[in-house]
């Protein structure tokens, strides 16, 4: 399947990036609910994942969104107990996710070791939830990018990144702690109408360049995750410094 070429949007500062992405997300969710009666968005962890939630909580356009029709997912999760401060969903909760007016049954969390016997079991439970509630595609897939070019928990040269024929994968021996994680596969990440890479900081500049200009999947997974309709690289000026 062919994809449109990625679009790069450079914002002057980290805060302006978060604020503009939040406004963009509110409109995208509003349009999805209007078109299909439901919206599916996959969020990301890390500092920028929390910043977009904080900005969204303060975004005036959020009041136009029917949040009861929005389903929230995550591209990956650290295999840690519910409420652990290092979990992506906990970080998003702390940033204000619960204050948006979401139906708690529409917030789809990856089970941790307190609710599953292994990362494999958690991955299967998450895949089952996607099958039951996820629809054909995410409307928006928000992804961070690591300095090494990883997205979700698909790390360069890691065998789990090459998983095919499944929606989710258990990741062990992650190069970043904690070692055990659950991630959507590249195939499931790309079942998204739009993929947005949200990237801030000069330490990510080389990864952004490789992601936008192209790089082998084994070296830069971010270069090979694309949306069906649109792929956006939403970056701040520091992250854009290596772009021509």
Give pTM, 2 decimals.
0.96
Give the number of domains in the chain: 1
For residues 75 and 55, give the distance between their C-alpha atoms in angstroms, rounded to a whole number: 20
Q: Is the dihedral of CA 134, 138, 139, 141 positive or negative?
A: positive
Is there a domain that residue 2 lies in? no
| Structural domain includes residue 169 | yes
What's the chain's average pLDDT?
Answer: 96
**pLDDT surpassing 90 at residue 244:** no
- The residues near 185 (Cβ < 8 Å, ≥ 6 apart) are 154, 163, 164, 166, 167, 168, 169
Handedness of CA 26, 144, 92, 54 (dihedral sign): negative
User: Regarding beta strands 138-143 and 39-43, do their DSSP bridges make them parallel or antiparallel, or are they unpaired?
Assistant: parallel
Using DSSP, state whether 172 is helix, strand or coil.
coil
Please indicate whether residue 135 or residue 174 has the higher confidence score (pLDDT).
174
* Non-local CB neighbours of 137 within 8 Å, separated by 6+ positions: 40, 191, 192, 193, 228
The verdict on residue 93 lying in a domain is: yes
Domain-embedded: residue 17 = yes
Cβ neighbourhood burial of 75 (10 Å; 0-12, 13-18, 19+): buried
Indicate whether 226 belongs to any domain.
Answer: yes
50 contacts 87 by C-beta, under 8 angstroms:
no
Cα gap 53→135, rounded to integer Å? 23
Residue 84: give its domain's CATH number: 3.40.50.1360
Across the range 14-32, mean pLDDT stands at 98
Strand order across the beta sheet in which 7-11 lies: 7-11, 230-236, 192-199, 138-143, 39-43, 70-74
In this structure, is residue 244 part of a structural domain? no
Q: Is there a domain that residue 242 lies in?
A: no
Domain residue limits at 146: 7-236
Q: Work out whether the CA dihedral 45, 76, 236, 62 comes out positive or negative.
A: negative
Neighbouring C-alpha atoms within 13 Å toward the C-beta of 55: 19
Q: How confident is the model at residue 4 (pLDDT cuts 50, 70, 90)?
A: confident
Q: Is the pLDDT of residue 214 over 80?
A: yes
Query: Residue 2 pLDDT > 80, yes or no?
Result: no
Q: What is the DSSP letter of 37?
A: S
pLDDT digits (tens, 9 = 90+) for 97-134: 999 999 999 999 999 999 999 999 999 999 999 999 98
Share of the chain above pLDDT 90, in %: 95
Asked whether the predicted pLDDT for residue 1 surpasses 70, the reply is no
Q: What average pLDDT does the segment 160-168 reach?
A: 96
Residue 241 lies in a domain: no
């Amino acid at each position: 399947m062919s994809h449109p070429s990625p679009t790069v949007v450079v914002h002057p500062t980290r805060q302006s990036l978060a604020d503009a992405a939040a406004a963009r997300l509110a409109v995208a969710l509003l349009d999805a609910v209007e078109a299909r009666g439901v919206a599916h968005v996959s969020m990301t962890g890390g500092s920028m994942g929390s910043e977009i939630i904080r900005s969204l909580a303060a975004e005036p356009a959020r009041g136009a969104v029917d949040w009861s029709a929005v389903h929230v997912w995550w591209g990956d999760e650290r295999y840690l107990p519910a409420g652990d401060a290092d979990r992506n969903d906990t970080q998003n909760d702390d940033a204000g996710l619960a204050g948006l007016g979401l139906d708690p049954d529409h917030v789809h969390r990856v089970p941790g070791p307190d609710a599953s016997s292994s990362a494999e079991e958690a991955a299967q439970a998450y895949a089952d939830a996607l099958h039951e509630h996820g629809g054909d595609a995410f409307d928006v897939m928000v992804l961070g990018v690591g300095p090494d070019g990883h997205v979700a928990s698909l790390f360069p040269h890691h065998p789990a990144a090459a998983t095919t024929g499944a929606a989710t994968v258990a990741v062990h021996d992650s190069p970043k702690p904690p070692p055990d994680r659950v991630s959507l596969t590249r195939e499931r990440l790309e079942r998204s109408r739009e993929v947005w890479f949200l990237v801030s900081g000069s330490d990510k500049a080389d990864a952004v360049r490789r992601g936008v200009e192209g790089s082998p999947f084994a070296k830069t997974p971010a270069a090979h995750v694309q949306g069906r309709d649109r792929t956006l690289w939403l970056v701040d000026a520091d992250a854009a410094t290596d772009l021509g």
